[in-house]
């Protein structure tokens, strides 16, 4: 199934609405503080850049060296909570120690330009824009991470352009997952005030795990988000949507998603390793509902799918527990980087087996244990050696060997010196007497 999208026409860069030296009054914990926002709305000591992506001025962060690692934030067109690449500010520094990290403002989000064609105000338009960003930056294959609606974008990008996605991480996404029940998020949001600044803070509180709320967001984040929500281009986005931009694909998304899920159940559409990463306490897409339902969609045809569920974690658990998130995502990508790109089909190739049956670049050894020829691997200088005998798998520890020798003076003749290498042997292969 192909993704329908419009061709992006060349567009002269729209003016950058200067944000420098603009004080925004942001209240946190009942206190109001004026925050000065830079003209790039950068936060956390990071510095945003801009690049022309087929005529669309696109804001992004870049940090680190290594394999390209692309982060996609959530939030829909005209969102009131100021979603942008700033969402990843707690993760970029840690991830950049291992990867060349990019965090991008999606199409029409943050300070990235609106699409030149009104029909691209939908996920299909976002997919094409992000693919063109990858091409413009000459990234080749990327490790792709998307959260919420950004995970929907990442998922569709991986389906349409699998050749550019090396690994895929999808985080707490009602957009990508099947609809399960009624979203608590919508019910809770109905209680939030209409004032834009207060509503933004209210929504972040609703979506966060409450005990983590105070450490997840700060004045600097709110000030930058509020400044971007008030940009004229964002007001233009809301007006465009009200006039029907992005239709009919925008309103047909739920039905179209059902067809994509049916395809995922019956075909191996995603060849890359996939990690589903969900928070138990997410009111918008809880792990027990949408998370497990999406795993069920993928599991049958996609053997490289894994899932992590985080307890006491909300919609933004990557900000609530940034070090844990970074560690798990790095471990996931590193593991699959070490695996062969394709597994040999059973019976398709003959395999040569060594005399010792060794695998994994290891070399098995043999020793006699009380007359029983015992095969084992030995690596390193301490710890435990794993041995396989006709009596099953056993573990030998150095202290056990020492105790046996003390209790039985002739144990030296019965037990190989595992501490110091192979046992002494006679020429006939039996233990030396």
166-201 confidence digits (pLDDT tens): 999 999 999 999 988 667 777 777 888 888 889 899
CA dihedral of residues 316, 318, 321, 327 (deg, nearest 10): 170
Check whether residue 162 and residue 222 sit in a common domain. yes
49-58, 255-264, 387-396: the lowest-pLDDT one: 387-396
Is residue 351 a part of any domain in this protein?
no
Percent of residues, the chain, with pLDDT higher than 70: 76
Is pLDDT of 344 > 60? no
> What's the length of the chain?
433
Is residue 8 a part of any domain in this protein?
no
What pLDDT is stored for residue 345 in this prediction? 34
Is pLDDT of 395 > 80? no
108-117, 195-204, 205-214, 404-413: the lowest-pLDDT one: 404-413
Distances (CA, A) of 213 to 29, 75, 239: 11, 19, 32
Mean pLDDT calculated for residue range 357-365: 84
Check whether residue 323 and residue 381 sit in a common domain. no
Q: What is the CATH number of the domain that holds 302?
A: 3.40.50.1820
74-95 confidence digits (pLDDT tens): 999 988 788 999 999 999 999 9
Check whether residue 131 and residue 260 sit in a common domain. yes
Is pLDDT of 425 > 60? no
Is pLDDT of 138 > 90? yes
pLDDT band at 150 (very low <50, low <70, confident <90, very high): very high
- List Cβ neighbours of 370 (8 Å cut-off, separation of 6 or more): 414, 415
What pLDDT is stored for residue 17 in this prediction? 35
What pLDDT is stored for residue 163 in this prediction? 97
273-292 confidence digits (pLDDT tens): 999 999 999 999 999 999 99
Check whether residue 374 and residue 331 sit in a common domain. no
93-102, 353-362, 392-401: the lowest-pLDDT one: 392-401
Question: Order of strands across the sheet with 365-369?
Answer: 365-369, 372-376, 384-389, 392-397
Of these ranges, 4-18, 104-118, 363-377, 393-407, the one predicted with the greatest mean pLDDT is 104-118
- How is 311-378 classified by DSSP, letter by letter? SS--TTHHHHSHHHHHHHHHHHHHHHHTS-SSPPPTTTS-----TT---TT---EEEEETTEEEEE--
pLDDT band at 341 (very low <50, low <70, confident <90, very high): low
Is pLDDT of 133 > 50? yes
What pLDDT is stored for residue 351 in this prediction? 58
Is pLDDT of 428 > 90? no
Mean pLDDT calculated for residue range 146-164: 97
Check whether residue 52 and residue 191 sit in a common domain. yes
Is pLDDT of 422 > 50? no
Domain range spanning residue 61?
22-337
Is residue 217 a part of any domain in this protein?
yes
Is pLDDT of 146 > 70? yes
Is residue 324 a part of any domain in this protein?
yes
Tokens of 50: 């801009």
Check whether residue 372 and residue 247 sit in a common domain. no
Is residue 240 a part of any domain in this protein?
yes
Query: How many domains, the chain?
Result: 2
What pLDDT is stored for residue 196 in this prediction? 85
Check whether residue 259 and residue 133 sit in a common domain. yes
What pLDDT is stored for residue 386 in this prediction? 41
Is residue 347 a part of any domain in this protein?
no
Distances (CA, A) of 235 to 231, 232, 257: 7, 5, 28
Check whether residue 324 and residue 407 sit in a common domain. no
Check whether residue 145 and residue 237 sit in a common domain. yes
**SS3 state of residue 26:** strand
Is residue 143 a part of any domain in this protein?
yes
Check whether residue 284 and residue 331 sit in a common domain. yes
Is pLDDT of 36 > 80? yes
Provide the whole-model pTM: 0.74
Q: How far is residue 413's CA from residue 212's CA, in Å, rounded to a whole number?
A: 61
What pLDDT is stored for residue 33 in this prediction? 54
Is residue 350 a part of any domain in this protein?
no
Is pLDDT of 21 > 70? no
Mean pLDDT of the chain: 81
Pick the closest to residue 158 from 143, 177, 137, 174 (CA basis).
Answer: 143
Check whether residue 274 and residue 377 sit in a common domain. no
What pLDDT is stored for residue 190 in this prediction? 81
Check whether residue 231 and residue 307 sit in a common domain. yes
Pick the closest to residue 357 from 380, 379, 377, 381 (CA basis).
Answer: 377
């Amino acid at each position: 199934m192909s993704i329908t999208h419009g061709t992006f026409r060349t567009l002269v860069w729209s003016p950058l609405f200067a944000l420098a030296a603009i004080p925004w009054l942001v209240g946190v914990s009942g206190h109001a503080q004026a925050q000065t926002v830079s003209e790039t709305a950068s936060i956390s000591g990071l510095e945003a850049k801009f690049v022309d992506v087929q005529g669309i001025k696109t804001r992004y962060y870049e940090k680190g060296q290594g394999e390209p690692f692309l982060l996609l934030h959530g939030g829909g067109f005209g969102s009131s909570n100021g979603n942008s690449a700033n969402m990843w500010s707690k993760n970029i520094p840690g991830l950049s120690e291992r990867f060349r990290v990019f965090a991008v403002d999606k199409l029409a989000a943050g300070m990235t330009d609106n699409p030149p064609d009104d029909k691209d105000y939908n996920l299909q338009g976002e997919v094409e824009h992000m693919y063109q960003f990858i091409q413009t930056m000459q990234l080749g294959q990327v490790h792709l991470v998307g959260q919420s609606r950004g995970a929907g974008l990442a998922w569709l990008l991986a389906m349409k352009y699998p050749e550019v996605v090396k690994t895929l991480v999808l985080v707490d996404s009602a957009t990508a997952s099947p609809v399960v029940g009624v979203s608590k998020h919508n019910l809770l949001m109905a209680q939030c005030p209409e004032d834009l600044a207060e509503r933004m803070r209210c929504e972040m509180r609703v979506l966060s795990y409450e005990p983590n709320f105070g450490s997840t967001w700060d004045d600097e984040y709110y000030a930058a988000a509020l400044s971007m929500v008030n940009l004229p281009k964002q007001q233009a986005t809301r007006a465009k949507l009200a006039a029907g931009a992005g239709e009919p694909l925008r309103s047909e998304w739920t039905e179209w998603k059902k067809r994509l899920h049916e395809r995922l159940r019956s075909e191996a559409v995603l060849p890359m390793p996939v990690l589903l990463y969900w928070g138990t306490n997410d009111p918008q897409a809880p792990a027990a509902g949408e998370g497990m339902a999406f795993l069920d969609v993928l599991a049958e045809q996609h053997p490289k799918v894994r899932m992590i569920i985080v307890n006491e974690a909300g919609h933004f658990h990557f900000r609530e527990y940034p070090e844990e998130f970074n560690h798990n995502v790095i471990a996931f990508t590193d593991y699959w980087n070490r695996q062969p790109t394709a597994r040999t089909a059973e019976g398709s190739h003959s395999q040569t087996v060594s005399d010792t049956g060794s695998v994994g670049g290891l070399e098995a050894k043999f020793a006699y244990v009380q007359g029983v020829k015992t095969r084992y691997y030995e690596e390193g200088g301490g710890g435990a050696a794993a041995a396989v005998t006709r009596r099953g798998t056993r573990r030998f520890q150095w202290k056990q060997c020492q105790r046996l020798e003390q209790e039985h003076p002739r144990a030296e003749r019965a037990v190989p010196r595992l501490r110091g290498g192979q046992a002494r042997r006679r020429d006939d292969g039996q233990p030396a007497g």
